[in-house]
């Protein structure tokens, strides 16, 4: 079965950095666009970033542009999100998602990122 397991979240001070990972299995990872989305307290889902199958085209929400970097290692079936200059408003549950086309997605269970002093 398809599995997406996020890791790397935690508590970090404002201005700090974290690197999230998403270990994928149960499907051909290299054949799918991948996404990071997040849900902050009291808010709905917010799209953060996505990356094409080969890792050559990346896109970011304005709120994270210049601070976050999405990448993938198809040989390791792993998706990454490098987060720098973290702000309190980045506090959220971060999800890895597999793009199945037609706005159909598979989701991981999420990893919590808390930015606080």
Q: From first to last of the 117 residues of the chain, give the pLDDT tens digit.
A: 999 999 999 999 999 999 999 999 999 999 999 999 999 999 999 999 999 999 999 999 999 999 999 999 999 999 999 999 999 999 999 999 999 988 889 999 999 999 999
Q: Are 21 and 36 in contact (CB under 8 A)?
A: no
Q: Which residues pair with 34 in a beta bridge?
A: 51, 98
Percentages (nearest 5) of helix, strand, coil residues in the chain: 5, 50, 45
Q: Specify the residue for token string 């210049």.
A: 66
What SS3 class is residue 109? coil
Tokens representing 39 are: 């849900």
Q: Which residues pair with 19 in a beta bridge?
A: 82
């Amino acid at each position: 079965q398809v599995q997406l397991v996020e890791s790397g979240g935690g508590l970090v001070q404002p201005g700090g950095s974290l690197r999230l990972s998403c270990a994928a299995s149960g499907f051909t990872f290299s054949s799918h666009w991948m996404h990071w989305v997040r849900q902050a307290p009291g808010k709905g889902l917010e799209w953060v970033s996505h990356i094409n199958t080969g890792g050559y085209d990346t896109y970011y929400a304005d709120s994270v542009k210049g601070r976050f970097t999405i990448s993938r290692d198809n040989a390791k079936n792993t998706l990454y999100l490098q987060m720098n200059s973290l702000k309190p408003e980045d506090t959220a549950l971060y999800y890895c998602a597999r793009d199945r086309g037609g706005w159909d997605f598979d989701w991981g269970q999420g990893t919590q990122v808390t930015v606080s002093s």
